[in-house]
Structure 1
Amino acid sequence: MCCACRASACCWPRSRSGGSRKGGEAQLPQPDSWIVLNGRASTLVLEVVPGEAPLWRYWGPRLPDGVTPPASLRSTRPTPSFSPDFDQPLSLVPGLGQGWFGEPGLKAHREGRDWTFQVTDCAVQQDARRATVSLTDQVARIALTVTLALDPDSDVLTVFTTLTNQGETPLDVHWLAAAVLPLPDCSKSVRSFSGRHNTEFVPVEDALTRSQWRRENRRGLTSHDCVPGAVVLADGCAYGAQLAWSGNHCQLIDWVDDGRWQWQLGEALMPGEVRLGPGETLTSPEVLTTCAADANGVAQNFHAAIRARMDWPGSAMRPRPVHLNTWEGFYFDHDEAALKDLADAAAKAGIERFVLDDGWFHRRGDDTTSLGDWWPDNVKYPNGLGPLADHVTGLGMEFGLWVEPEMINPDSELYRAHPEWTLQIAGRPLITARNQLVLDMGRIDVRDYLYERLAGLLNELPIRYLKWDHNRDLTAAGERPSFRKQVLGAYDLLARLRRDFPAVEIEACAGGGGRIDAGIARYTHRFWTSDNIDAVSRVSIQRGYLQFFPPELMGSHVGAAPAHATGRIQTMRFRNHVALPGHFGVELDLRKLSDRDLARLGEGISRYKALRDRLHQGHVWQGKGADGLLWQAHGSVEALVLLITRIDPQTQRHAPGLRLPMLDPARRYQVGETDYDGAWLVQQGLPLPPLRGEDGLVLEVTAL
């Protein structure tokens, strides 16, 4: 279906009731059509009005087919006192300076002029799953296209916006909302995630009030402390949104005068960062958003959408291999013979991938030197990396390698040859972090150099995996701000390598969980969730992660005891338990384990291999039981893998039953040797044995 609506004037005479007068009666613009998109369990409805951006009428639980509003929005509400005579409801792109007093969807100007945005022309193309809305302001000479696509399988709505400068002079853009979403008046709170390095995904819940809620990140990459997404909890349902972008970002929730809220997400632009010349365009990142019954439903929809976006080698995900990383076992102290011994121990324990972390390249003895010099150190590896890689692959394991392409040390051959390749501002000091500067990824010569170095390694060695790190925030980003060029340049380099080496998997790491987002997921296959491998810390980190991303992308390792990040000691049993549901890995020197711990680790690896296909498919539910119990379930209502975790000791004399609300009350289930009615497990719960602090239990729940 295609509909078009035109307005030849930018204003109309209005009556107190909000319309023009004709024959003594108020005349309001009537809907030209409706935009209706139905998902599996959600519906959105927009009112298309001549000469305006479509008005948000509904987004929420699924409506029956054919349901539309009975009348135009303006006809259902009189003009309040002390208000413009023509009402400006929440639209797909709220304007500025024409009677909308909330947050606008676009902030731009042309040397101080054309700062208002008011649609004069609207055209809509729509089918059952997708709507493209083209909006033009003929006065400001600005065109916007908003694309909305509702996937019926995941029930996730993907939205993005493209801005075109149709004028003859440059247009400075300060804010372009990728999506403007309505939230119902029954919305209560917003759950977002903060944190820091080693403490990612700290949940924060704020009540929604008339005050604006806002989270903004200016660190240049996704960040540890400002996850680009959130969940809004409302009466009877929940709404989730996440921005598919690996750089600066902003999301805000703004109260609307009719009791609803608007939720905007988009790229946070620095002053002067985007200036569009005549005819140039700016396309926002995508927003993935969904409505579901609760936060678990939001997570399940997000997992399905992310899985559909993945670009796996061979077009399909294979079972996630048990993974060993050398970092906390060796750090920079590489010894080829010792690493071969570690590979022997790893293969014997059942590990399937061996990843050589930082310290392998030219003169890299610590973190002060050599980033950018991507060739093997001739002291540690006099014959290159080939002998170690061949030893690893000869044991039946894959070989992987750590790199940090976007970074450079001042003490490096590359910096001495090309100091101009770093992000810098003339006359300002160079600000290092972890002794690093940042390469200008907006430069094609920089990307070509990095491609040549990485492609040389990938052609020479049997590398099946790259751990791609990014160990600092950005500060000065060029003479003109180029934060977004950094992101686009990194995407370009990743895409080029993926195209030419399609069998290689890539892990996204940024000091742990500093670059976890749906944008980088287009090019990568695993997230390093945190540099903190302490099992107690990892429980909350991984639970927060699972709100947005599926478990098979979640790097979860068994680390050393004491944990290097916290100094705390946990049993091997508990470390195995916490690492089990994600992409299981090991990050310690196996040669130093006691026979008992080595045997326990082998048991954890065997359990993971037996369960990984079920853990990494289907739905994930998370919840809290009584007395501090935490649980999560993977699979379907017919067959679940149930993980029960206790961090603190039990305080009650008798453990309460664990209710499993996702089960079918009309069916019977087997748990271990016992059969239960589904209704009993839903209402009364599963009886549990006593658990000590820092302990866990894995159960299989199967419908009969």
Structure 2
Amino acid sequence: MQRSTLHLRNGDTSVVLDLTTDGLPAIVHWGTDLGDLTTAELDGLALAAVPQRVSGGIDVPARLTLLPQDAFGWQGTPGLDGHRAGLLFSSALALTSHTATEHSATFTARDDVAGLELLVELDVTPAGLLTQRLTLTNLADTPFELGALAPTFPLPATATEILDTTGRHLRERSPQRRDLTVGIHLRESRKGRPGADASLLLAAGERGFGFESGLVHAVHVAWSGNHRLAAERTVTAESFLQASELLLAGELVLAPGESYTTPLAMGSWGEGLNELAGRFHTEVRGRAVHPTRPRPVTLNTWEAVYFDHDLATLTALAERAARVGVERFVLDDGWFLGRRDDTAGLGDWYVDADVWPEGLDPLISTVRNLGMEFGLWFEPEMVNPDSDLARAHPDWLLQPAGRLPVPARQQQVLNLAIPEAFDYILTRIDDLLSTYDIAYIKWDHNRDLLGAGDARTGRVVVHEHTLALYRLLDELKVRHPGLEIESCASGGARVDLGILERTDRIWTSDCIDPIERLDNQRYTGLLLPPELMGAHISGPRSHSTHRSHDLSLRAGIAFFHHLGIEWDISRLTDAEEAELTRWVGAHKAVRDLAHTGRVVHADLPDESMDLRGVVAADGSRALFTITQRTTSANYPTGRLHLPGLDPLRSYTVRLAEPFDAVPGPGQSPLLWAQDGVTTTGRALATAGLQAPILYPEELLLIDVRAL
């Protein structure tokens, strides 16, 4: 039987679709570039994927299509769930037309009985990502209640193991693995934001896949509200991933003629997680909104002063910050009306005259005269019940009919979907940005959404609230060109490529303990390149874990990322100031490399050590950190290999600034670290280097340069 097929190619990725299917087309290959294929070869590939009818099964074997539907025999999770007052619940959307280019395609499908039309937009991007966006339109004259609309990505038969992350406040992005067996593995966020415990992405690959090897695919949904990620395997050996918005009961009812468009679902793949993450990084860096100027070294005042806003103290902090090389000074929580602790004031976005009798001008003038930008903390979506805003407009708070949700951090949530509430927040922030020389906003979001209903209607409004947030951020950017915004949400609880279309970095975690940050930054980095990940140098003793670390570890773990300081540096000794200045200067000298290069992680047999680095796009230079997490059973440990280098080039390897010697308890010199060593990229990736002897929780930075 002759088949109709499409072959989309871009970024070393091929996607082959079989259009000779019931309903929507089926993807029969997503992954490595298959090269130029003839029509006969494409048809043969599609024909080879058609399943047989089995004993006890349906007469026409169902296919995993772009929108699997039970009307065509699909018995796994459908791509569409919805109904008209309990009727017409089983859609039969069938392909009516399509258009295609070399790397993209659109498909239109209709179900005249159900009164629905679907548009599917597929694109294989220059980075090699497969993106999907679905739009469902109600063609009938009665409402259609939508429960789910889920872009679906097929997995190869080799995908037998799942990787995702979990976590909590102060410990986001903890990895977890399990077998991909028959059934569904579901990760959801019902908290109105992606959440600390929800997964940044969902990956499935060959058993034992790591950062350097093993075919692996993953999906991410670019959405800042409730979301759903799923991996499923059927008894007929179909395996797939889904990435969609999670819609709550009655949240989205399409009126006649109305449409719903899913958030962008993004799929990546690679031979190992380094390659998979690299595709996401290339995609993110290629956006028109991606920051292009060097990421300013930032000092944030929170862990230095908390709510103690005293002009003399903050002036001393700013002066010391400028001396060590800080380029942006951010005043955190505590500057606005009635805000002496975290129990009151949220929503009253006016400078508190009791604390700042002359306004913020004296501090901002000092900061600007010292050559730094000024930034200010907001939490615009939150309201303390003890605030003038809550007392004046209790109906602006998200709530089901008749009762406020359980409080969290003495906070409730402002319903930005109410035009008056939206306008109030826009006006207050706009006024402050117009009055003061503010270049940066730290935009916080410190509680989950519960009972997220509109007090006027009683209906769920997470979807509408999220879209209103996007409009608010977009409008502020239009009114204040050049304004940069950080997405912070109890640390790293709102990290997604929807919010990052409108913001310029994320706060990776409220925990700045460098050992905790090793995994956090590694797994956040599956999606984001380091320049978008705020990573600050903490004080000697971590505020969240109470562990103490040397400056070299605290600075070294943050070194590759958007560097900052979260520490009262006004009381540093001269020696401490000199050391911190040296680290800040070393970062500035290499941030162009760190913020444009390929991030690599080594899979080491000895888990007491961590090795990661960044390699220039042209392979000419690399930087690596070696971190001794714990003591090892081996003493000394064995060799370490350096991944990601050009195997055909020769490199010189030496200690990187600011190191001039190997720390730790070494009993004899480490010869390669004394004067450097020169060998090939292939040798460094295979034979490797003798690991240094380090104390637990020590770090070494090494510089690799091509001859």
TM-score, normalised on structure 1? 0.93
For residues 560 and 582 of structure 1, the distance between their equivalents in structure 2, rounded to whole angstroms, comes to 18
Asked if 1:375 corresponds to 2:346, the answer is no
Given the alignment, which residue of 661, 679, 686 partners 2:643?
A: 661
For residues 71 and 356 of structure 1, the distance between their equivalents in structure 2, rounded to whole angstroms, comes to 59
Given the alignment, which residue of 678, 681, 686 partners 2:684?
A: 681
Whether the 8 Å CA contact 1:650–1:691 is kept in 2: the answer is no
For residues 604 and 75 of structure 1, the distance between their equivalents in structure 2, rounded to whole angstroms, comes to 56
For residues 521 and 575 of structure 1, the distance between their equivalents in structure 2, rounded to whole angstroms, comes to 26
Whether the 8 Å CA contact 1:228–1:251 is kept in 2: the answer is no
Whether the 8 Å CA contact 1:231–1:295 is kept in 2: the answer is no
Please list every run of 5 or more consecutive structure 1 residues that lacks an aligned counterpart in the other structure.
1-27
For residues 267 and 197 of structure 2, the distance between their equivalents in structure 1, rounded to whole angstroms, comes to 21
**Per-residue CA shift, 1:423-466, capped at 9, x if unaligned?**
11222244211111100011121111111110111111110000
| SS of residue paired to 1:642 | strand
Deviation at 1:639, TM superposition (A): 1.3
| SS of residue paired to 2:187 | strand
Partner of 2:133: 160
For residues 387 and 76 of structure 1, the distance between their equivalents in structure 2, rounded to whole angstroms, comes to 72
Deviation at 1:98, TM superposition (A): 3.7
Partner of 2:145: 172
For residues 503 and 46 of structure 1, the distance between their equivalents in structure 2, rounded to whole angstroms, comes to 42
Partner of 1:274: 252
Partner of 1:671: 653
Partner of 2:624: 642
Whether the 8 Å CA contact 1:310–1:525 is kept in 2: the answer is no
The letter for the 2-side match of 1:162 is: T
Given the alignment, which residue of 307, 318, 329 partners 1:354?
A: 329
Cα gap change, 1:269/1:642 in structure 2, threshold over 3 Å: closer, same or farther?
same
**Per-residue CA shift, 1:34-74, capped at 9, x if unaligned?**
12111232211111127621122111211011251417548
Deviation at 1:234, TM superposition (A): 2.5
Partner of 2:234: 256
| SS of residue paired to 2:430 | helix
**Per-residue CA shift, 1:495-548, capped at 9, x if unaligned?**
000111121100000010010111100000010001111111111111111111
The letter for the 2-side match of 1:70 is: G
| Cα RMSD, aligned residues only | 1.6
**Per-residue CA shift, 1:592-641, capped at 9, x if unaligned?**
23333322211211111111111100210112434322111112333111
For residues 625 and 78 of structure 1, the distance between their equivalents in structure 2, rounded to whole angstroms, comes to 43
The letter for the 1-side match of 2:83 is: H
Counting only pairs closer than 5 Å after superposition, residues 476-555 of structure 1 correspond to structure 2 as 476-478=451-453, 479-555=458-534
For residues 561 and 349 of structure 1, the distance between their equivalents in structure 2, rounded to whole angstroms, comes to 17
Deviates more, 1:621-630 or 1:328-337: 621-630
Cα gap change, 1:391/1:231 in structure 2, threshold over 3 Å: closer, same or farther?
same
Deviation at 1:76, TM superposition (A): 4.8
For residues 79 and 420 of structure 2, the distance between their equivalents in structure 1, rounded to whole angstroms, comes to 36
The letter for the 1-side match of 2:352 is: D
Deviation at 1:79, TM superposition (A): 1.4
Counting only pairs closer than 5 Å after superposition, residues 508-657 of structure 1 correspond to structure 2 as 508-627=487-606, 628-636=608-616, 637-657=619-639
Partner of 1:5: none
Whether the 8 Å CA contact 1:243–1:518 is kept in 2: the answer is yes
**Per-residue CA shift, 1:277-309, capped at 9, x if unaligned?**
111001000011122111100111001111223
Deviation at 1:659, TM superposition (A): 1.2
| SS of residue paired to 2:304 | helix
For residues 409 and 283 of structure 2, the distance between their equivalents in structure 1, rounded to whole angstroms, comes to 35
Given the alignment, which residue of 279, 283, 290 partners 2:268?
A: 290
| SS of residue paired to 1:675 | strand
Cα gap change, 1:310/1:370 in structure 2, threshold over 3 Å: closer, same or farther?
farther
Partner of 2:667: none
Given the alignment, which residue of 198, 210, 226 partners 2:182?
A: 210
Asked if 1:63 corresponds to 2:41, the answer is no
| SS of residue paired to 2:183 | coil
**Per-residue CA shift, 1:653-692, capped at 9, x if unaligned?**
2231111232233322111232113332122112232121
Please list every run of 5 or more consecutive structure 2 residues that lacks an aligned counterpart in the other structure.
208-213, 655-675
Whether the 8 Å CA contact 2:180–2:232 is kept in 1: the answer is no
For residues 74 and 433 of structure 2, the distance between their equivalents in structure 1, rounded to whole angstroms, comes to 55
Asked if 1:196 corresponds to 2:168, the answer is yes
Counting only pairs closer than 5 Å after superposition, residues 74-223 of structure 1 correspond to structure 2 as 76-152=50-126, 154-177=127-150, 179-223=151-195
Whether the 8 Å CA contact 1:51–1:119 is kept in 2: the answer is no
For residues 77 and 337 of structure 1, the distance between their equivalents in structure 2, rounded to whole angstroms, comes to 75
Whether the 8 Å CA contact 2:636–2:691 is kept in 1: the answer is no
Q: Report the number of matched residues.
A: 670
Whether the 8 Å CA contact 1:53–1:122 is kept in 2: the answer is no
For residues 507 and 429 of structure 1, the distance between their equivalents in structure 2, rounded to whole angstroms, comes to 29
Cα gap change, 1:671/1:72 in structure 2, threshold over 3 Å: closer, same or farther?
closer
Whether the 8 Å CA contact 1:403–1:468 is kept in 2: the answer is yes
**Per-residue CA shift, 1:158-188, capped at 9, x if unaligned?**
11111111111000111110x2010011112
Deviates more, 1:623-632 or 1:129-138: 623-632
Cα gap change, 1:430/1:188 in structure 2, threshold over 3 Å: closer, same or farther?
closer
| SS of residue paired to 1:463 | coil
Deviation at 1:156, TM superposition (A): 1.1
Whether the 8 Å CA contact 2:601–2:643 is kept in 1: the answer is no
Whether the 8 Å CA contact 1:228–1:249 is kept in 2: the answer is no
Deviation at 1:81, TM superposition (A): 1.3
Deviation at 1:348, TM superposition (A): 1.0
For residues 48 and 11 of structure 2, the distance between their equivalents in structure 1, rounded to whole angstroms, comes to 30
Deviates more, 1:222-231 or 1:196-205: 222-231
**Per-residue CA shift, 1:90-134, capped at 9, x if unaligned?**
111001244111110000000111111112442111001211111
Deviates more, 1:326-335 or 1:206-215: 206-215
Cα gap change, 1:351/1:232 in structure 2, threshold over 3 Å: closer, same or farther?
same
Identity of aligned residues (%): 39
Deviates more, 1:122-131 or 1:515-524: 122-131
The letter for the 1-side match of 2:421 is: V
Whether the 8 Å CA contact 1:42–1:292 is kept in 2: the answer is no
Deviation at 1:414, TM superposition (A): 1.1
For residues 51 and 96 of structure 1, the distance between their equivalents in structure 2, rounded to whole angstroms, comes to 11
Deviation at 1:339, TM superposition (A): 0.6
| SS of residue paired to 2:643 | coil
Deviation at 1:87, TM superposition (A): 2.0
Asked if 1:239 corresponds to 2:217, the answer is yes
For residues 259 and 197 of structure 1, the distance between their equivalents in structure 2, rounded to whole angstroms, comes to 38
Asked if 1:433 corresponds to 2:408, the answer is yes
Whether the 8 Å CA contact 2:5–2:46 is kept in 1: the answer is no
Whether the 8 Å CA contact 1:50–1:122 is kept in 2: the answer is no
Deviates more, 1:567-576 or 1:644-653: 644-653
Cα gap change, 1:72/1:702 in structure 2, threshold over 3 Å: closer, same or farther?
closer
| SS of residue paired to 1:187 | coil
Given the alignment, which residue of 281, 293, 304 partners 1:329?
A: 304
